[in-house]
Structures are given as structure tokens and as C-alpha cells.
């Protein structure tokens, strides 16, 4: 994802350095196995104490991808430390989990269970800082704009924020952001403009536009909707011209037209031919010109995209009968 790979082979370590690395790694493995066994024993005996929570902290710091460890941690919190805690204590404990997940994401921002635990923390807190979460996920998208985990978390944040009452709440000490569909579309535009090869941003855009149609009450033939679709076609055209081999823009184009790009071309051509046929024999020459233009376009595609030559040939055969 935008990180240049080096073709220079790494310098091999000496035997002594290699031995020390193995010893250090084995020590970490032994510590991890011991911690995992202890944590599972405490969970089986329902020891939901601060000591058990601290053990899960050490365990998950060594391996944030241990999904069972996160589940045990939630059980310790819900059935132990949070059970009879007041609002202030509850907030303090859960903020500790936010710090733990942040440290885990800094190790690897593509771990499902870490993002899911962070969602759980926000939903369990009495005073979540949703505005800071938006800034945090924007920071991760700045580092890697194509990380779909970050995009999924952003969609979660937006839907959660919009589901909260906008009226001030006694339990809410931090300002609540109010994102809109248009503001989210603008965000995806910025990310796509920075890098057209961003499938997650294009995908999010399909969801936002569908939501916008519903919010505005725009029917498929509404003037405003058609104008917006024209703008989208212009955006995706720029992406395709910039990198015609990238699939993300083509998939978005496919969503816009409702079918595959070339299939849609043939469909609209046939529709126009049928409209011309309804006008009588005087339009035979116009129909022939349309057919020839489509066949010529497919012939050019065979040259520039030989991998799909057979596909273009099939489409040509669908058009040729209409020329006879």
C-alpha cells in the first residue's frame, strides 16, 4: 500500500547474532505460553480480579491477535471490575482499554479483534470521546488510505454518532461531532483524489450516494440525481484515465451504470437502435453507423487489452447480426 519495496537483499547475520535472536525469541514464546495458560486457568475458575486483568494486558501486549484473550478480558471487566463500579471508575478503567487497543493497533492496524474490542469499549463507556475517535481513524487513514479495517471503523463511528441524541446529555462532557452524508462524501473525494486506487473509499462512496438519494427523495429520473451521477462519471473517468489497469475505479463505474461497463455499452447501443427502428426504414443508415462504431471500438480494445480479446470478440458477434 504505497510502500516502496527494496530489492537489495538483507545482509545475513553472523552465527552468534542468529543464536542470540533465537534465544530471545524463545524466551518470548515461553513467556507467552505461560501467560496464556495462567489467563485461561483464571478464566475457567472465574477469577475476575485486577490481577487477572493485568495478566491479559501482558498477554495481549505480546500478541494482540489472540482473539480469545480479548474475550476473556471483556468477561473479567463485565463480571468483575465494572460490575459495581461507579461512573468515574468505570470511565477510568475503560480508558485504560482504549490505551491498550491503541498500542496494539500501532503494532498492527489490521487485526479484527483489536478494532472490535475498541468498538465494545466505546459502547460500554459512559462518556466516549467520539470526536477524538474520528481524528484517530483519520490519522490511520493518512498512514494507509486503503486499510479497510480503518474504513470499517470510520463507518461504525459515523453510524454510532448519528444514532446518538443530539441534545446535550449530563453524562456527556465532550462535544459530539455531527457528520453528514455530504461531509463523508467530501472525505472520500479527498482520499480518492490523493490516490485513485482506493477500493475502500470507492465502496464507501456507493453506500453514501445510495443514502443521499434516500435522504433527498431523488427518484432515478430526478434532475438533481442525474446531475450528481454525471459528476460521479467525470470523477471515475479521471481515475480510469490515470490508471486503466486498476480495478477499483472500474468496479465503481460498474456500480454507477448498474452492469458491466462493456455490457452496458452494448445494452445502450441496442436500446438506441430499437428507438431508431421505431422511426422506420429511413434510419437504416444511422443504425449501421452505430453498429460500425461499436465494432470499431471493440476492435481497438482487442489491441490495447489482448488478455480480454475473447470477451470483446463475443460482444462483436452480438452486434454483427444487427448489421445484416
With a cut of 80, say whether residue 274 has pLDDT above it. no
Strands (E) across 149-290 are located at none
What is the phi/psi pair of residue 272, to 5°?
Answer: -65, -40
C-alpha count within 13 angstroms, C-beta hemisphere, residue 13 = 8
Across the range 9-23, mean pLDDT stands at 77
Residue 289: pLDDT band by 50, 70, 90 thresholds? confident
For 213, residues 6+ apart whose C-beta sits below 8 A from its C-beta are 225
Residue 6: pLDDT band by 50, 70, 90 thresholds? low
Q: Which of 56-65, 249-258, 293-302 has the highest mean predicted lDDT (pLDDT)?
A: 56-65
Strands (E) across the chain are located at none
DSSP string, 235-260: HHHHHHHH-TT-HHHHHHHHHHHSS-
Each residue's pLDDT tens digit, 111-162: 999 999 999 999 999 899 999 999 999 999 999 999 999 999 999 999 999 9
For 189, residues 6+ apart whose C-beta sits below 8 A from its C-beta are 235
Residue 283: pLDDT band by 50, 70, 90 thresholds? low
C-alpha count within 13 angstroms, C-beta hemisphere, residue 261 = 15
DSSP string, 116-153: HHHHHHHHH-SS--HHHHHHHHHHHHHH-TT-HHHHHH
Where are the chain's structural domains? 18-127, 271-324
Each residue's pLDDT tens digit, 260-272: 344 445 544 554 4
Domain 18-127: top CATH class: mainly alpha
Across the range 290-306, mean pLDDT stands at 82
Each residue's pLDDT tens digit, 154-200: 999 999 999 988 777 777 788 889 999 999 999 999 999 999 999 99
Residue 4: pLDDT band by 50, 70, 90 thresholds? low
**CA dist., res. 257 & res. 130, Å (int):** 36
Produce one character per residue of 10-32: b if its CB has 16 or more CB atoms within 10 Å, e if not.
eeeeeeeeeeeeeeeeeeeeeee
What is the predicted pLDDT for the residue at 317?
Answer: 85
With a cut of 60, say whether residue 12 has pLDDT above it. yes
**In this structure, what C-alpha cell is assigned to residue 149?**
479495517
Least confident range of 3-7, 10-14, 197-201, 307-311 = 3-7
For 117, residues 6+ apart whose C-beta sits below 8 A from its C-beta are 70, 73, 74, 97, 101
pTM confidence score: 0.76
Each residue's pLDDT tens digit, 27-79: 889 999 999 999 999 999 999 999 999 999 999 999 999 999 999 999 999 99
Residue 259: pLDDT band by 50, 70, 90 thresholds? very low
**In this structure, what C-alpha cell is assigned to residue 48?**
475476575
What is the predicted pLDDT for the residue at 220?
Answer: 80
Least confident range of 12-16, 144-148, 291-295 = 12-16
Across the range 89-109, mean pLDDT stands at 96
With a cut of 50, say whether residue 256 has pLDDT above it. yes
What is the predicted pLDDT for the residue at 277?
Answer: 55
Cα–Cα nearest to 13, from 25, 29, 1, 30: 25
With a cut of 80, say whether residue 5 has pLDDT above it. no
**CA dist., res. 3 & res. 140, Å (int):** 15
**CA dist., res. 110 & res. 115, Å (int):** 8
Amino acid at each position: 500500500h504505497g510502500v516502496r519495496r527494496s530489492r537489495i537483499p538483507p545482509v545475513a547475520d553472523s552465527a552468534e547474532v542468529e543464536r542470540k535472536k533465537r534465544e530471545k525469541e524463545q524466551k518470548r514464546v515461553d513467556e507467552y505460553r505461560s501467560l496464556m495458560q495462567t489467563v485461561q486457568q483464571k478464566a475457567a475458575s472465574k477469577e475476575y480480579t485486577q490481577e487477572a486483568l493485568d495478566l491479559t494486558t501482558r498477554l495481549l501486549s505480546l500478541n494482540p491477535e489472540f482473539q480469545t484473550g480479548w474475550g476473556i478480558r471483556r468477561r473479567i471487566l463485565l463480571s468483575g471490575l465494572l460490575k459495581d463500579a461507579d461512573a468515574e471508575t468505570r470511565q477510568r478503567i475503560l480508558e485504560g482499554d482504549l490505551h491498550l487497543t491503541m498500542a496494539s493497533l500501532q503494532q498492527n492496524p489490521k487485526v479484527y479483534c483489536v478494532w472490535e474490542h475498541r468498538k465494545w469499549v466505546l459502547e460500554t463507556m459512559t462518556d466516549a470521546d467520539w470526536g477524538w475517535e474520528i481524528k484517530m481513524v483519520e490519522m490511520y487513514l493518512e498512514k494507509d488510505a486503503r486499510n479497510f479495517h480503518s474504513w470499517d471503523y470510520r463507518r461504525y463511528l459515523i453510524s454510532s454518532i448519528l444514532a446518538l441524541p443530539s441534545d446535550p446529555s449530563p453524562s456527556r462532557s465532550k462535544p459530539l461531532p455531527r457528520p453528514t452524508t455530504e461531509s463523508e462524501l467530501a472525505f472520500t473525494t479527498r482520499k480518492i483524489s490523493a490516490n485513485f486506487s482506493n477500493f475502500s473509499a470507492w465502496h464507501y462512496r456507493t453506500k453514501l450516494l445510495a443514502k443521499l438519494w434516500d435522504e433527498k427523495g431523488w427518484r432515478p429520473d430526478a434532475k438533481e440525481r442525474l446531475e450528481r451521477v454525471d459528476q460521479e462519471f467525470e470523477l471515475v473517468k479521471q481515475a480510469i484515465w490515470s490508471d486503466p489497469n486498476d480495478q477499483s475505479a472500474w468496479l465503481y463505474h460498474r456500480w454507477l451504470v448498474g452492469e458491466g461497463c462493456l455490457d452496458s455499452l452494448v445494452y445502450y447501443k441496442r436500446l438506441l437502435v430499437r428507438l431508431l427502428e421505431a422511426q422506420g426504414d429511413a434510419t437504416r443508415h444511422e443504425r449501421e453507423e452505430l453498429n460500425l462504431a461499436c465494432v470499431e471500438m471493440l476492435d481497438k480494445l482487442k489491441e490495447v487489452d489482448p488478455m480480454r480479446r475473447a470477451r470483446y470478440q463475443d460482444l462483436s458477434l452480438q452486434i454483427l447480426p444487427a448489421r445484416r
